[in-house]
A = this chain, B = another copy of it.
Amino acid sequence: MTEHPLGSSQAQSATNSSHLADQPAQQVIEITVNLDDATPELLGHTIDKLLELGALDVWATPIVMKKSRPAHQLSLLCAPQDRDRLAIALLTETGAIGLRYHTRDRITLDRVIHHAPSPLGQIPIKVASLNNLPLSAKPEHDTLAKLAKQHNMPLNRVQQIANAAANELLSTLTSDSSNGGDPS
């Protein structure tokens, strides 16, 4: 590994691979509605509400509609079995009279939470792997926000400290995995 430090060979292997073999697609539903009669206060509230109700993701996109209307499109992703429930919630919360949806395939990397040491203590790090090769390591945002508050430090600085820990972890993991079955 001395000649390929830092997992560059792993990243390359993963990148050069043309298969997403270990990541079978799941189906998710994407529901969308264009809203020209909802206030931003209502939109913000609805984003939170739909997430509480089980949407996988919810977001608003600025759009321009007829009659010079500066509007937003509201979208959500959900599991197929939650489609009707969330569609009704979206209609009910916003007062919209219609919506549209379609099925999309979704690929999610395998994720494992590790804990890495840092000057701020152990930090939970989400490691995402593709075809069993660790690809990225990212500290959990909520923990960082708490640490920033607790230590009265800028989040910006906490992120950098935690990313250093995540980097160390990822280097170790990719070095290990490249050694394959021979850890000695």
Residues of chain A touching chain B, judged by Cβ–Cβ distance below 8 Å, are 5-8, 11-12, 14-15, 17-20, 28, 30, 32, 34-49, 51, 57-73, 77, 84-85, 87-89, 91-95, 97-109, 111, 119-120, 126, 128, 130, 135-138, 141, 145, 148, 151-157, 159-161, 163-164, 166-168, 170-171
Contact = CB atoms under 8 A, between A and B. Distances in A.
Contacts of A98: 106-109
A174 to B, nearest CB: 10
Q: How many copies of the chain does the oligomer comprise?
A: 6
For the residues of A in contact with B, the DSSP-based class is mixed
Given A30-B100, A47-B68, A164-B168, 16 more contacts: A6-B119, A8-B151, A8-B153, A11-B157, A12-B153, A36-B41, A36-B44, A38-B39, A39-B39, A39-B159, A46-B155, A51-B66, A59-B63, A59-B73, A97-B128, A98-B108
Nearest to A135: B92
30 contacts: A6-B120, A6-B153, A6-B161, A12-B152, A15-B89, A20-B88, A35-B40, A37-B138, A39-B39, A42-B159, A44-B65, A44-B68, A47-B65, A47-B66, A47-B68, A49-B155, A57-B65, A61-B64, A64-B64, A66-B68, A92-B156, A93-B155, A95-B135, A97-B111, A98-B106, A98-B108, A98-B109, A100-B106, A161-B167, A163-B167
A160 B163 contact: yes
A5 B119 CA distance: 7
Nearest to A137: B160
